Structure 1
Amino acid sequence: MSSTQISQPPTGAAPVNPPPQPKRHRLRTTVIFLVAVAVVAFFIWRIITANDQANKKAAQQAAAMANRAVPVQVVTVQQKQMPIYVTALGTVTPYYTVTVKARVTGELTRVNFTEGQEVKQGEELMTIDPRPYQATLDQARGQLARDQAQLHDAEAEYNRYKALYDQGVVSKEQLDTMQANFGNYQGAIKADQAAIDADALNVTYCHITSPINGRVGLRLVDPGNIITANTTNLIVVNQFQPIAVVFTVPEDQLFRIFEKMRGSKSLQAEAFDRSDTEHIASGQLLTADNQIDTTTGTNKLKAVFQNTDEVLFPNQFVNIHLILEQRPNAITVPSAAIQHGTEGDFVWVVKPDKTVAIQQVKVDLTEGTTTILDGGVSQGTSVVTDGADKLRAGMKVDARSATRNKPAQQQSESNNGMMGQ
């Protein structure tokens, strides 16, 4: 049996050391570390460079924006005649309005108008069957004829008895009886004539006519219906030319209005649409109510418009400008141009070099969308009406003309035209 023998180092021999680490392993670690540092440094450099470029671009854009002209809308200051007026909300009402009713009872046989038609006073609108009333009229005329014959006979009897009485043949009592009989028939004749007149009037009432010049509305009853006298509404007729507008003003304004009415006797009234932007018609103040409404503290006024083109319609809501005076040579700007600051009211003025500057102004009063100034700017100066919130003093602007406010322009032209007539 064989055995494996392991040799042992001899006692007292020197120990064996492991081989040393190679130098290239340490070099590889150093290279990897340097590459990682380079990559991180590269990314940091890119981020810093990108931020610098972004900041530079933003600065360039800011500089470009600072040098770029701001678009604004401008108008020129005007010097013109300016109306001073009181505004009020009014309702258009017909100058005359009539609800037509039948004055006799009967069957409606004919309608002689078209709904919405213009009619003249006295023009026949509807017809009620006149035959029953015509028969009654003929009967009254027959009664008159009979009573006239009896009157003629009674008169002859009275004349005979009077002659006999003068001869002493008949008594006074008999003569008085004949005279009374003759008087009865005279009274009967008058009663018959009154009945004829009443029956003839009923026949006339069967022909329903327009009481005024105006326009008819929708018919309320169709032919074939039985009409009841003084009860059934048949048609409404409204007068459009002229037409009225009733409006209310606060009692505090009445003194000014009455003072102007006493002075000029007539005040001009301008009607505008519901939005108070479009001029509709011109008229004159007619009168004021004789009492103030204590619940609202207002008074009703009435203005009349010729309405030749029929632009005003009953129950239409309109804004009324009651002109109290005309102020000549007023310096005016749109109210949108007025700005408010700590030092008072001001406007942005556009200079000839297309830059803007602040100009302090003094506001006299505001009428609608137009403001009257008492100083600060002169006629022809360009002021900003839109875009003022982006402006700073000295900034360049791209000025574009804006339309003057429409109501003030139209009203001024209308007033100037009427003043020149």
Structure 2
Amino acid sequence: MRDDPENQDTQTDGDQTTGSQTPSPSTVRWLALGAILVVAAGAGALTLRQGDTAPLAKIAAAPIPVTAAFASVRDLPIARTGLGTVLPLNQVDVKARVDGQIQRIFFSEGQEVKAGDVLAQLDPRAYAAQLAQAQATLQKDVAQLANARADEGRATKLTQSGAGTTQAADTARAQVAVMQATVDGDQAAVDTAKLNLSYATIAAPISGRAGLKQVNEGALVHANDATGIVTITQIRPISVQFSLPQDDLPDLLSGQHSAPLPVAIDTRDRSKHLADGNLTVIDSQVDTTTGMVKLKAEFDNQDQTLWPGELVTAQVTERIDRNALVVPSIAVQSGQKGPYIFVVTPNNTVKVAQVTVGQTVGDVTALRSGVAEGDNIVVSGQSRLADGTSMQVTQIGGAQQNVVSEAQ
């Protein structure tokens, strides 16, 4: 019997409603398409990420540019530096030694004078008169001395002949002695008057440079004035006094015992070199409050680059370390294990070397261990380096080297 179409439709609807709800073919097709799209999107994203990381990998592997210099052996002067003051070897405040009025001044301010040059002239007339009076008194007493001696001679002869008394002869002898003493006193008065007259002419006691005038012509000066006429300062040669810590004293004494230690003088900010000389004095004691010892060096100063009272930087060379292995100071790095440096290997990769540091002089540092002469040392660009890093090296004084090695 033929099935009823309406019953078939009803059955189908009932199966869709009450059955296992199997997906229709159209639904399956849409789900499959969605899965394909998801897979494709994931593959595209993966490809995109791989394409983005490729340049980063190339950048990470690129050599790091650095600058390098070779470790070298040289004689290293060990010097110590201190702030010093320029002091004249001699300085005199020229004053009048007698009272008087200044008639004339013969020097100019800032003039170079020599010892014995006349600087000023006081009115000499009062002292010339005193000298004339002393000389007259001397002549009078010399005449009286001659008369007393004549009297002594006559009294002695009379006594010897029995015509005179011994008392008369003794009195005559005593009178000669008195007159001799008077004449000696008169001579001293004459010498004093001559000296005072000479003091009226004021001369330079030392050679040096005349400073500013303290008095002018016509001024009345006195021997006990606090202010002088002018100050003369010796400029050539000149000295510098400076101080160093007491820890440097053994090397200073040892070096000075062999020969005078060289001393270099720069401006206070060390921007300009001024003079070279030698250490002349090491103070006999250490300042207990500061732990410093005073030193003095002398300089010929013919070009007058050093000026009294000037603040300068003094550098004394204590000794010379022969055949010291040195590298630029900027190459030495500090780490948890101590100082270290980066050494360039033959294939232009870096190697870390722990070092023992010695003295630092200027822009170089001595190394006692960890490096050999001729080792190529990185001096700049260290911040991005690690053991085995590939580098592009610019050699100080040489051409740039192209690096093809990969990081190890």
TM range (shorter): 0.7 to 0.9
The answer to whether the 8 Å contact 2:78/2:319 transfers is: yes
Secondary structure of the 1:195 match is: helix
CA distance in 2, matches of 1:400, 1:329: 22
Q: Paired residue for 1:7?
A: none
- Asked if residue 396 in structure 1 is aligned to residue 402 in structure 2, the reply is no
Taking the TM superposition and a 5 Å limit, the aligned residue runs for 1:241-390 are 241-262=236-257, 264-276=258-270, 278-347=272-341, 357=350, 359-360=352-353, 361-377=355-371, 383=377, 385=379, 388-389=382-383
Taking the TM superposition and a 5 Å limit, the aligned residue runs for 1:143-162 are 143-162=137-156
CA distance in 2, matches of 1:344, 1:202: 77
Q: Paired residue for 1:130?
A: 124
Change in 2 beyond 3 A, CA 1:224/1:250: same
1:326 shift after superposition: 0.9
Of 212, 232, 238, the match for 1:237? 232
The answer to whether the 8 Å contact 2:350/2:385 transfers is: no
CA distance in 2, matches of 1:181, 1:66: 122
1:332 shift after superposition: 2.4
Q: CA offsets per residue over residues 150-180 of structure 1, 9 Å max, x none?
A: 2222222332333333333333333333333
Could you tell me which amino acid in structure 1 is paired with residue 239 of structure 2? A
Instruction: Provide TM-score, normalisation by structure 2.
Output: 0.72
The answer to whether the 8 Å contact 2:67/2:393 transfers is: no
1:234 shift after superposition: 2.1
1:350 shift after superposition: 6.8
Q: Paired residue for 2:3?
A: none
Change in 2 beyond 3 A, CA 1:358/1:307: farther
The answer to whether the 8 Å contact 1:74/1:401 transfers is: no
1:187 shift after superposition: 1.3
CA distance in 1, matches of 2:69, 2:136: 87
CA distance in 1, matches of 2:349, 2:111: 61
Q: Which runs of 5+ in 2 are unaligned?
A: 1-47, 399-408
CA distance in 2, matches of 1:278, 1:358: 40
The answer to whether the 8 Å contact 1:356/1:397 transfers is: no
1:188 shift after superposition: 1.3
The answer to whether the 8 Å contact 1:73/1:401 transfers is: no
Q: Paired residue for 1:165?
A: 159
Q: Paired residue for 1:193?
A: 187
The answer to whether the 8 Å contact 1:69/1:398 transfers is: no
CA distance in 2, matches of 1:168, 1:210: 65
1:192 shift after superposition: 0.8
CA distance in 2, matches of 1:124, 1:386: 66
Could you tell me which amino acid in structure 1 is paired with residue 128 of structure 2? Q
Note the aligned Cα RMSD (angstroms): 3.4
Secondary structure of the 1:271 match is: strand
CA distance in 1, matches of 2:201, 2:56: 87
Of 74, 83, 86, the match for 1:80? 74
Q: CA offsets per residue over residues 166-221 of structure 1, 9 Å max, x none?
A: 33333333333333333222111111110111111111222222222222222222
CA distance in 1, matches of 2:143, 2:241: 62
1:244 shift after superposition: 1.6
1:285 shift after superposition: 1.9
Q: CA offsets per residue over residues 35-72 of structure 1, 9 Å max, x none?
A: xxxxxxxxxxxxxxxxx9xx99xx989989996985x7
Q: CA offsets per residue over residues 24-44 of structure 1, 9 Å max, x none?
A: xxxxxxxxxxxxxxxxxxxxx
CA distance in 1, matches of 2:71, 2:272: 22
CA distance in 1, matches of 2:391, 2:64: 7
Q: Paired residue for 1:412?
A: none
Could you tell me which amino acid in structure 2 is paired with residue 123 of structure 1? D
Q: Which runs of 5+ in 1 are unaligned?
A: 1-51, 403-421
Q: Paired residue for 1:104?
A: 98
Q: CA offsets per residue over residues 289-317 of structure 1, 9 Å max, x none?
A: 22222221222122222223322222222
CA distance in 2, matches of 1:222, 1:389: 70
Could you tell me which amino acid in structure 2 is paired with residue 255 of structure 1? P
Q: Paired residue for 1:10?
A: none
Q: In terms of mean alpha carbon deviation, does 73-82 or 239-248 score higher? A: 73-82
The number of residue pairs the alignment matches comes to 345
CA distance in 1, matches of 2:55, 2:96: 88
1:368 shift after superposition: 4.1
Change in 2 beyond 3 A, CA 1:125/1:146: same
Secondary structure of the 2:202 match is: strand
The answer to whether the 8 Å contact 1:270/1:322 transfers is: yes
Change in 2 beyond 3 A, CA 1:359/1:401: farther
Secondary structure of the 1:233 match is: coil
CA distance in 1, matches of 2:182, 2:310: 57
Q: Paired residue for 2:221?
A: 227
1:229 shift after superposition: 0.6
1:78 shift after superposition: 3.9
